[in-house]
Structure 1
Amino acid sequence: MASTNMKQICAKCNKGGGIAMCHGCQQSFCTKHFVEHRQELSQQIDHIGQEHDLLRQDLSREENIDSFLVHIDQWEQESIKTIQTCAQNARTTFQQLHNQTKNELKISFDKLTQEIRDYRESYDYTEVDIIKWIDTLKELRQ
């Protein structure tokens, strides 16, 4: 029957006599290195505690939220002003284009009116002229 009394080796110094077993990392340590191992774990948990406290402070700060909300409000107002300016420019451009088109249409219409009147008074028109005037009226309607 084989012996199960094998000495454990310290994970740090690789010497026999490992008398303490860490159930977290599953390693054996001599007394000196077991104390160091526990100190390292204590430092790690202290660091976690500090990070935890910093996060708690960050979560409790309301001024960060207020600052972001103010920034969003400013962005909203600037966006509204920009949109209003663009809308006013579009209205102005549309009105100018509409007036220009209407004036051009009126000039063409007045010219057609005079042409039809002149031909009618002189009785100097044919089917070709009538078709041309009908087509011109259709174009002006569009």
Structure 2
Amino acid sequence: MATLNELNLCSVCNKTQATSICAACKKYFCRKDFKEHVQQLSIKFDNEIVRSHDELLEQIQKLEKSNYLSLDLFDQIEQWKKATVKKVEKAAEKAHHELIELIDKQRLIMTKQLEPITREIRYLRKEANFAEDDINRLKQKINEIQQKVKQFIEKDTNKTIIIDNNQIDWNHLIYIRETQSKYASTATTVNISDSRRRSSSRIRVIQITWEYPYLSA
């Protein structure tokens, strides 16, 4: 506020000689109206500035507690986790059944391979008609099948069963990213699209980007 000594009337009452001029609104005021003008400015400052500041601070504090605008984002992460766990469990169950079927298949193959040897051994023993060549030949056949069984017992999957486990980049399966937005109203919107436009006048926006691991049904 600036003091004025010129002969100007108060812009409020238009009767009393002005003693002050407001540097902001450029109006003239007498002593009484100038005092009221200052009080009105004080009230306006409290209503429009202090109150807005306090409300904004409260909103920020709620964000820190993760129970306000960000709650929906946490819910979406939880939904993605549950859906992914179901897919992983389903894929693991499928692989479990496939492994059982494969082991049973191999067991049946080896059993069938052993059946003619079993019949021959019983026949030769019953008739007591076998030579050293028969012993060496049957021993070789038994050893061949025994090696196949040993591979299962020793879990030599490199030779019998191969578990094809495609590597999943878990660090990028779901991640949080900050982008830029022009409007504060979109600050808590979950946007799966790739937005890379940046500007110094824009504010930060929380984005969640996710994908589900490729698991065959």
Please classify the TM superposition score into its range, dividing by the shorter chain length: 0.5 to 0.7
In structure 1, the partner of 2:118 is 113
How far residue 81 of structure 1 moved from its aligned partner, in angstroms, is 0.5
Aligned pair 1:74/2:79, yes or no?
yes
Q: Which residues of 2 match residues 1-142 of structure 1 at below 5 A?
A: 57=59, 60-61=62-63, 62-141=67-146, 142=150
- For residue 125 of structure 1, give the secondary structure of its aligned residue in structure 2: coil
Q: Is the 8 A contact 2:114 2:145 kept in 1?
A: yes
More helix by share: 1
In terms of Rg, which structure is larger?
Answer: 1
Q: Which has the higher contact order (CA 8 A, sep 6+)?
A: 2
Tell me how far apart the structure 2 counterparts of residues 98 and 92 of structure 1 sit (CA, whole Å).
10
List gaps (5 residues or longer) in structure 2: 1-54, 151-217
More strand by share: 2
In structure 1, the partner of 2:187 is none
1:113 counterpart letter in structure 2:
T
Tell me how far apart the structure 1 counterparts of residues 93 and 80 of structure 2 sit (CA, whole Å).
20
List gaps (5 residues or longer) in structure 1: 1-52
- For residue 63 of structure 1, give the secondary structure of its aligned residue in structure 2: coil
Tell me the TM-score normalized by structure 2: 0.36
Tell me how far apart the structure 2 counterparts of residues 57 and 104 of structure 1 sit (CA, whole Å).
69
2:120 counterpart letter in structure 1:
E
Tell me how far apart the structure 1 counterparts of residues 57 and 141 of structure 2 sit (CA, whole Å).
78
1:115 counterpart letter in structure 2:
E
Q: Deviation digits for residues 33-77 of structure 1, max 9, x if unmatched?
A: xxxxxxxxxxxxxxxxxxxx9798556444332122111211211
Tell me how far apart the structure 2 counterparts of residues 81 and 89 of structure 1 sit (CA, whole Å).
12
Tell me the TM-score normalized by structure 1: 0.52
Report the RMSD for the aligned CA atoms in angstroms: 3.0
Aligned residues between the structures: 94
